[in-house]
Amino acid sequence: MIISIASGKGGTGKTTIATNLAQVISTEMDTWFLDCDVEAPNAHLFLTPQIDKTQDVSLLIPEVDDSKCDGCGVCDEVCAFNAIVVLGDKAMVFPEICHSCGGCSRCCPKKAISETPVRIGQVEAGRAGDIRFFRGVSDVGVAVVTPVVKAVKNKARLADENTAVLIDAPPGTGCPVVAAVSGSDYCVLVTEPTPFGLNDLKLAVQLVRHMGIDCGVVINRCGLTGSESDVDAYCESEGIPILARIPFDRRYAGCYARGGIWVNEFPELHNAFNALWASITAELAAGGSAQ
């Protein structure tokens, strides 16, 4: 069972919802947590895992042998990302934007391009109490992070059918989010009751629907602004279930700032996350309602 937790907008409390949900589920069943927000992973601040394994993630980046290259320009034409450019009679590679598709090296008529592995990040594995924990971390300055997300996602393949796999997706609706959410049985979209939150929720709903994944919404920080009714109206018009409403409370914000886990400190939130988990399993059993 793979459940992703996503949000069109950053800063909605997605990781807080994901880590608290993991904590609650782990008392019932085998639980794996995959932090796929590889450019800014922060679930470890709350779950405080013990990391026992790390594994590099590398991309094959082209390297041009100037003695063989005649500047024909074929590689420049083939590359869809402008990551290899021919200037005069020389081909220049821009590794930061190379997607490692291998097209240039395969098409080079002079066999002047070889490929060298270049590290772009790493995957860490460990345990946080009863939770099996994985996270991806992209290296500073790396622009193409989706392969790091995929490397973390690959760990989910090792889980059996009785395991709940929670995926903390990156914010936004770009390629790393698609990589994180793809293959999920259900997606929890975390939003906040603001016009920006609603706008980005709509984009996220379009994305997961396009991917054929059922979704439900958690509204975080309820009561902080007056826009909750707008989120309600949108979800009702789209037939999207609201799975939980987490009120704004300064005590909750203080717990978050200390790196605390809500469900361990606030009985009312422990109940709320148990109810959230029950709603998700009910949605899964019903085959979802957001298609």
Residues 9-68 that bind ligand SF4 (CB under 6 A): 62, 64
Q: What 8-state DSSP symbol labels residue 241?
A: -
The nearer residue to ligand SF4, 70 or 268, going by C-beta atoms, is 70
Minimum Å gap between C-beta 90 and ligand SF4 is 8
Comparing CA positions, the residue from 145, 96, 95, 97 lying closest to residue 115 is 95
Task: From 37-45, 101-109, 216-224, 280-288, give the range in contact with ligand SF4 by CB under 6 A.
Answer: 101-109
**Residue from 79, 128, 207, 213 binding ligand SF4 (CB under 6 A):** 79
Residue 117 binds ligand SF4, judged by CB under 6 A: no
Nearest to ligand SF4 of 75, 255 (CB atom): 75
Residue 223 interacting with ligand SF4 (CB under 6 A): no
Residue pair 134/18 in contact by the 8 Å Cβ criterion: no
Q: What are phi and psi of 259, to 5 degrees?
A: 80, 25
At 161, the amino acid letter reads: E
Distance separating alpha carbons of residues 216 and 287, to the nearest angstrom: 12
Number of residues interacting with ligand SF4: please give it, by CB under 6 A: 28
Question: Residue holding tokens 């069943």?
Answer: 29
Q: Closer CB to ligand SF4, residue 66 or residue 268? A: 66
Q: Which of 148, 128, 139, 119 is nearest to 52 (CA)?
A: 128
Q: Closest distance between ligand SF4 and the C-beta of residue 94, in Å? A: 8
Q: How far is the CB of 141 from ligand SF4 (least distance, A)?
A: 17
Q: Residue 174, interface with ligand SF4 (CB under 6 A)?
A: no
Among 85, 110, 202, 222, binds ligand SF4 (CB under 6 A): 110
Tokens describing residue 1:
């069972």
Longest dimension (CA), the chain: 70
CA distance 121 to 214: 31
- Interaction of residue 112 with ligand SF4, rule CB under 6 A: yes
Out of 1, 51, 74, 224, the only residue in the binding site for ligand SF4 (CB under 6 A) is: 74
Give dist(CA 173, CA 47) in Å, integer.
25
- Whichever of 116 and 271 has its CB closer to ligand SF4, that residue is 116
Residue 152, phi then psi, degrees to nearest 5: -70, -45
Q: How far is the CB of 67 from ligand SF4 (least distance, A)?
A: 11
Contact present, 55 and 135 (Cβ < 8 Å): no
Give the interface with ligand SF4 as residue ranges (CB under 6 A).
62, 64, 69-75, 78-79, 81, 83-84, 86, 91, 93, 98-104, 108, 110, 112-113
